[in-house]
Amino acid sequence: MDCGTCREALSARLDGEEEPVEAAAVDAHLSGCPACRAWSEHAATLTRALRLRPVVAVPDLTDAVLAQAPTTRGWYPRLGLAGVAVAQVTLGLSQLLGANPAAAHGAGHLFNESTAWNLALGLGLLWTALRPRATSGVLPVVAGFVAVVGVYSVRDLAGGVVSVERVTSHAIVLLGLLLLVVVHRGRRDPDGGRAVGDPPHSPDLPDAPDLPGGPARSGPPRRPHLRPVGRRPAA
């Protein structure tokens, strides 16, 4: 057996493949060929070095990961907001189904608008309880509504137009506004990290260098616009 065939068989043996010749013939050649024995030892050492590596000590990140995880306390305002949303939707459904005919008597289209608003407000609050990011859009609308209704309620209550019971029915919306503020402020952790309930941000890509002679850009790095590569002409 020549050395080339022997080394090919040894390489297959190290890789766990089928040897091209009988193992006894390979071992017999190794016993009488010092060069192939040296080659076999070197190949075995190299294979072991590629497959096995020393264990590298890594830091324990358990405490850091748990510190970044949102606490269960952040769910309490969202659960309260969901309860307010259900109450608001129930109020709208009661108007829609005629459970309060005295309020609907003679109201006409104005009553229909009030019913639609109560339902829309309840659904909006429920959506913000599920998706806290939506508080940025719902909060100004609810705050404006509470401010306007508050002015009219004080005026009508002072003039004897409405009763105290009717004015206190707006407490649901006021409570919803307070919970919206709490949820909106609690979206970010104290260190300015990502919002609770939001998807994790992808790492920032390196900013493109400034062009020679152009104005230097300031502020946070901007992500480059990615375009589909399938539309580019082939090279």
pLDDT, tens only, 66-123: 777 655 556 788 888 888 888 888 877 887 777 454 444 445 666 777 778 888 888 8
What are the tens digits of pLDDT across the range 11-68? 888 888 888 888 888 888 888 898 988 998 998 888 888 877 777 788 888 888 777 7
Could you tell me if 36 and 101 lie in one domain?
no
Q: What is the pLDDT of residue 180?
A: 86
Residue 63 is assigned to a structural domain of this protein: no
Q: Are 47 and 96 in the same domain?
A: no
Do 33 and 111 reside in the same domain of the chain?
no
Angstrom distance (rounded) from CA 141 to CA 186: 19
pLDDT at 231: 53
Looking at the structure, do residues 37 and 83 belong to the same domain, yes or no?
Answer: no
Q: Mark whether 41 and 122 lie in a shared domain.
A: no
Q: What are phi and psi of 179, to 5 degrees?
A: -70, -35
Residue 176: which of 82, 84, 77 has the closest Cα? 84
**Whether the model pTM is above 0.75:** no
Pick the more confident residue, 169 or 206.
169
Mean pLDDT value of segment 129-144: 86
Task: Looking at the structure, tell me whether residues 178 and 104 fall in a common domain.
Answer: yes
Number of domains in the chain: 2
Residue 188 backbone phi and psi in degrees, to 5: -115, 145
User: What pLDDT, on the 0 to 100 scale, is given for residue 104?
Assistant: 45
| 225 located within any domain | no
Q: Is residue 111 part of a domain?
A: yes
| Range from 75-84, 158-167, 217-226 that averages highest in pLDDT | 75-84
Confidence (pLDDT) at 228: 57
Give pLDDT, residue 81: 86
Looking at the DSSP bridge assignments, the partners of residue 188 are: 195
Q: Among the three residues 152, 170, 185, which one is the final residue of a domain in this structure?
A: 185
Least confident of 142-146, 147-151, 225-229: 225-229
Residue 193, in any domain of the structure: no
Phi and psi (nearest 5°) for 61?
-100, 15
pLDDT of 214: 47
Q: Note down the domain range covering 112.
A: 73-185
Residue 199 has pLDDT above 60, yes or no: no
As a whole number of angstroms, the distance between CA 223 and CA 74 comes to: 31
**What is the pLDDT at residue 226?**
58
Pick the last residue of a domain from 169, 185, 201: 185
In a domain, 15, yes or no: yes
Residues 47 and 79 in one domain: no
9 plus 102 within the same structural domain:
no
Rounded to 5 degrees, φ, ψ at 142 are -65, -40
Q: Is the pLDDT of residue 218 over 80?
A: no
Let me know whether 10 and 92 are in one domain.
no
